[in-house]
Structure 1
Amino acid sequence: DCRGGSRTAPTDVIKHKPLGRLIGAFKTVSTKQINIIRNISGVPVWQRNYYEHIIRNEDELNRIRQYIIENPFRWEDDPENPKNINR
């Protein structure tokens, strides 16, 4: 039989994973690599949580940029800084 027919092309279904899982995987892989370079093991590199936020306009983007620029200067007083454990 030479009649044409239709068939559905086999395609893989892309499964979307939560952002938290992606960030967790990034933190795990990068921590392992950093600790290999530092020749130590099991030492945390990242703070525990993250903050996800949709940037909706230019003002918000600029505010977040400013936060990123200024944030390292606040590390000395940050409660996550290991030097501040006994404070």
Structure 2
Amino acid sequence: MSDKFQGKYRNESARLQNWDYGSNAAYFITICTKDREHYLGEIINHKMQVSPAGGIAHVLWYEIKNHAKNIELGEFVVMPNHIHGILILNGNNAGIWDGVGTTHALSLQSNTIPPIDTGHTLSTPGQQRFQNQGKNTVSSIVGSYKSSVTKYCNRLGLDFGWQPRFYDHIIRNDESFQKISEYIKNNPANWLEDKLYQ
């Protein structure tokens, strides 16, 4: 991880006390795998080659916008032992998770998910459900995402786990947004210098 981002993550247990995490803002999110194991794939020739679990993490990230109100997704990358993504809450008036009835079923729309070459055939997670419905906050969105990835991996018998917490950084201006977006985009090419490399 480059020096410009060191020390700028906050652990979930140390969120800003005076900040409403349902507020309109862009949030740089990092979620690590349990014990930083390479469950999500490997970097080969400076490109990420996702595992089946990594493919699920990729697909379900792009499903977030179909289950949370007033949210946009910025740059995103799956790495061997973590993911980085930007969540943009915009027009959020303490919204709640939406869905059909109370099931909140995922309905994959292939035209909204960027293509990814997994090298494996994955079952469609069309019946996978987001949980932790509630206020449209960063914690509820990330918690639902983590839960969905874990449950779907478990259903397929994949060895996988997340660390209990996640890291966030509130992006405060356009310059920071552009720098973080570039950092995420270039993360696979810079893997050997990454703070999370093991």
Instruction: Give me the TM-score of the superposition, normalised by structure 2.
Output: 0.26
User: Over alpha carbons, which structure has the higher Rg?
Assistant: 1
**Comparing both chains, which one has the higher relative contact order based on Cα–Cα distances under 8 Å and sequence gaps of 6 or more?**
2
Higher strand share: 2
Instruction: Give me the TM-score of the superposition, normalised by structure 1.
Output: 0.48
